[in-house]
Structure 1
Amino acid sequence: METPSVDWNVNNLEDLLSNIWRRLQQGAAGRHDPWHTAALATISAGQPATRTVVLRAVDIPARTLMFFSDARANKIQQILERPRVEWLFYDSFQRVQLRARAGAVVHHLNPITEAVWRSRPDLNYLHYLSLLPPGTSLPASLPSEEEALPEDEFAYRNFAVVVTTLDQLDWLRLLDTGHTRALFTWDLDHFSGRWMVA
């Protein structure tokens, strides 16, 4: 496991927020980083639905976090119907939790997905080659793949990029001497940060 290079022993909100962004960048860049994967919650038929996703990119000025998905996955339809999500990151070594609320936009077969697809030679397109959508019950015999499209083209048709724009960060550090919590919110052009009771 990669060791994060963020010192959480700060006593002002500006430094803390900078460290949170730095920590998210480390998570996106480090395959074995504790924040490389996170729980992502959506709403499905009025009920919460949670799964693990991979943090792929962080854009600090835009306040966005990005992940990839099969466009046919249930979570994509859930986001299209209710474009609000919450990320949950946890580092068990540093005992730091981050909840990030965001609006979400699904990109599919558009210039954004094409740019990401073409610019990432490490992208494993095999994840998007299933003939059946994720979550489908498997039949007794699987469909023949004889008439399948060329692998790259078929995989790209199933590829989606989800960009989430953060409007709230809820940071919590668990300490034996007393927990520390801070809340950051963005409302249009208004920003606020404050310490909270943990």
Structure 2
Amino acid sequence: MDLPDIDASAWAELETAAVDPQSGFRYLNLCSVDTEKRPQARMIVLRAADRSARRLEFHTDTRSPKWLELSATPHVTVLGFSAESRLQLRLQGKVELHGPGSGAAGTAWDRLPARTRMTYAGGPPGDERAFETIGVAAPADEAEGKARFGLLIFRASTLDWFQLRQQDNRRALFSYDETGALSSRRWVNP
């Protein structure tokens, strides 16, 4: 496979993962820094991918520490690994935050199934919760969830593609300009 094919294949994997819950790249690590400049990593669900714009979309609760971290420092790394294909994708770029009331967040909210909307109606992420209430569904108001729903749009500036093989691991680096066009590509030592 040549470099342009590898780039296209990686983004096709991400586009598939956004609609296929069984994909190896459906759950990705979002790596950021907190307000004290300590590294933070968490699993997030890939909700949409667009290879032409080099864009990924994720959802979050705007009360979460993640939202505050990204507001202060929007430069992040997104890391995924598919055990089936033994492929690692590491993307670096910047996140745009679209909060409640924004058109982009409203459109994303409208596409969510009701069961997913309700996940934003509970208590703030990270707050203490009594063990006795775990598994007990509390009455929730969908409007409360919408008022806490945030959309994260990640735009990749680089892709580090790494293929684990029995022999001769492969690694390639790709860079993109501000429009998402491929600006450079090269093989590197794994």
TM-score (norm 2): 0.89
> Letter of the aligned partner of 2:89 in structure 1?
L
Superposition map of 1:177-188 within 5 A: 177-188=167-178
- Counterpart position of 1:106: 97
Greater Rg over alpha carbons, structure: 1
- Counterpart position of 1:70: 61
CA RMSD of aligned residues (A): 2.0
2:175–2:183: 8 Å Cα contact kept in structure 1? yes
Aligned residues: 181
Mark the runs of 5 or more structure 1 residues left unpaired by the alignment. Answer: 1-9, 143-147
For residues 141 and 98 of structure 1, do their structure 2 counterparts lie closer, same or farther at Cα, with a shift above 3 Å needed? closer
2:57–2:152: 8 Å Cα contact kept in structure 1? yes
Mark the runs of 5 or more structure 2 residues left unpaired by the alignment. Answer: 134-138
Out of 181, 188, 191, the residue aligned to residue 183 of structure 2 is 191
**Alpha-carbon separation, structure 1, partners of 2:108 and 2:131:** 36
Out of 77, 80, 84, the residue aligned to residue 86 of structure 1 is 77
Q: Deviations over 1:111-135 (max 9, x none)?
A: 11111112333661121011x3101
**Alpha-carbon separation, structure 2, partners of 1:170 and 1:108:** 30
Q: Deviations over 1:80-117 (max 9, x none)?
A: 00001111110112111010111001111211111111
**Alpha-carbon separation, structure 2, partners of 1:188 and 1:103:** 11
1:117–1:123: 8 Å Cα contact kept in structure 2? no
> Letter of the aligned partner of 1:195 in structure 2?
W
Superposition map of 1:1-150 within 5 A: 10=1, 12-44=2-34, 45-109=36-100, 110-121=102-113, 124-130=116-122, 132-138=123-129
